[in-house]
Amino acid sequence: MEAAVETRVATAITGRQAKVLQVKPEGQKTACILSEGGRVLVSNILASHIRPGDEIDFPVVLESAGAGTEIYVRRTSTSARTHDLYNAPLGYAAQPRSDKPEQLYVRAEVPQGRLGIRALHFPCEVLRDYFYVADRRLPWKKQKTFYEILRSASTASPAELRLAFKLRELELRAEDAPKAALSAAERAFNILANPELRVCYETLLSNPAASALFPYGGFGSIIVLGDRSRDGQTFFVGRIASFLPESRQRRFWAPLRKFEFYSDRALYRDPRRKLEVLVDQSAMPLIWDQTWNQWKHFLPTKVEMQATFVEAGKYRHRGGEWQLVKWETALPSRLTIKLPAGTAEQVETARKTYHRFGQFSDALARIREPIEREPMERRDLQRICWDLGIPGDFDIAAINWRPDYDHFFYRQLCRRAQTLYLFRDEYIFALETAVVVETPQLGHATYVFSKPSSMEAFLAAYIRTTKEGIRNNSGNIAETLGFLGRVIHGASPRAWLAELKAKIGERADCAAAAAASGGA
């Protein structure tokens, strides 16, 4: 969102406070020569606000650091004594509220502050004039709207906004436009592409004195100008000079079945990685609607995502206390999605499968009756389907499928299976070297057994026991079945596959596992 702001304090400095004698540029950094003989290396952005004679405070314990090293500058020169300067790490920024004079403001935490400052106080107009404007040098009344910057209508859909941003970006690059113009276009799109921030922005357009959200709840490093409170614990911000959110690049594969589909956008959440991605139909070129949520669990497709993620968070009341819940959100402008070949065909197959479940629900209920009592081969079940009028291309294994199950495990087992049985809510795979029992639901492990001399005898013994009985070897049932152990699905399909191969006597190949799982 902003250029990197770096601050590094020379480790030779041991004092806590000193006067700046000279400000000396040194390439990408600036050296502040101090009265006590040491120096402080700071970013050029921070140095542009420092003058000889200013007093600088820094922590007693000094280390080389990147953005967010805490530094406080008292502006003593008469020509620049409007505000002090504070460079600090920024934590959670709360929702806007009113203070006593009825001025709207946002309070943000300074995590682990060592100079005594615990919080930053942002008037909402300060946030407005930094995050919600195209040109930070101009007053609010003279600003172009973000829609004008993108040359887009105020009624534009998320997909139309992305297209407008891409076109405007190409135009600006072709014109060799200044970096500030490119940044303004990107900022405009990132605000408008987020539903919550777009509502905030449009409210500000109609009422400039309205509350302004700190995008994504803060989290990053910031340089601000303002004044310290009397008790020294709060810094009242008059202007934001620079803000750099905590961010990192991520690339991963996301299952379509884990998206929540809406009419004009889709939302992907990954609780394990604590990620959130908002997707429009221009970023992911599929024409979806909300009905996809009814049958998406039949989709085996995984899409490749690459994006810049910024840290976000909110306080939630849990267990009688307030806890900060943090996650990462993808910046819309830095998001790219690649669809694998055959996605359209897989979508159509999933849609058709769901339709057939409704169309042949009575017949499928009749098929469920025998597999509740004994295992049946998939080929035998397919013949029953045909007799009941269900088309031959219907995969009867889908009747045991649950929406939270990952297709990866099923595909790997099918690839190795000589025969597949359906029993209750399970799959029983007869492999060349083993028997594997899989429950296609989240939270279940894969059970592995040695290859029996008689599959019929194995099935006859298996249907008389339970998973708990197998784990506890009740009546020596685990020994009778040749139980080799469980393989937990866990967070990494590659680890699951490597362990499965080891148990069935197949050489593990992590490279092949990675390719098969789509990098999951």
pTM of the entire structure?
Answer: 0.81
Give pLDDT, residue 395.
Answer: 84
* Per-residue pLDDT tens over the stretch 209-259: 999 999 999 999 999 999 999 998 999 999 999 999 999 999 999 999 999
Domain extents for the chain?
1-132+216-245, 247-345, 360-517
SS3 string, 3-28, reads CCCCEECCCCCCCCEEEEEEEEEECC
Give pLDDT, residue 420.
Answer: 96
Nearest to 8 by CA among 67, 55, 79: 67
Q: Helices 343-359 & 361-373, crossing angle to 10 degrees? A: 90
User: How far is CA 80 from each of CA 48, 49, 225, 235, 484, rounded to the nearest angstrom?
Assistant: 12, 9, 11, 18, 76
DSSP-derived letter for residue 283 is: T
Burial of 475 (0-12, 13-18, 19+ CB in 10 A): exposed
Give pLDDT, residue 79.
Answer: 52
Kindly state the tokens that stand for 118.
């615990």
* Per-residue pLDDT tens over the stretch 375-391: 999 999 988 888 888 88
Burial of 190 (0-12, 13-18, 19+ CB in 10 A): buried
Task: Count other C-beta atoms under 10 Å from residue 324's C-beta.
Answer: 12
CATH T-level assignment (fold) for domain 247-345: OB fold (Dihydrolipoamide Acetyltransferase, E2P) (2.40.50)
SS3 string, 94-123, reads CCCEECCCCCEEEEEECCCCCCCCCEEEEE
Q: Which residue has the tokens 């159509």?
A: 348
Burial of 183 (0-12, 13-18, 19+ CB in 10 A): middle
Rg (CA), the chain: 30
* Per-residue pLDDT tens over the stretch 170-189: 999 999 999 999 999 999 99
Range 171-180 burial, b when 16+ CB lie within 10 A, else e: ebeeeeeeee
Evaluate if residue 81 carries a pLDDT over 60: no
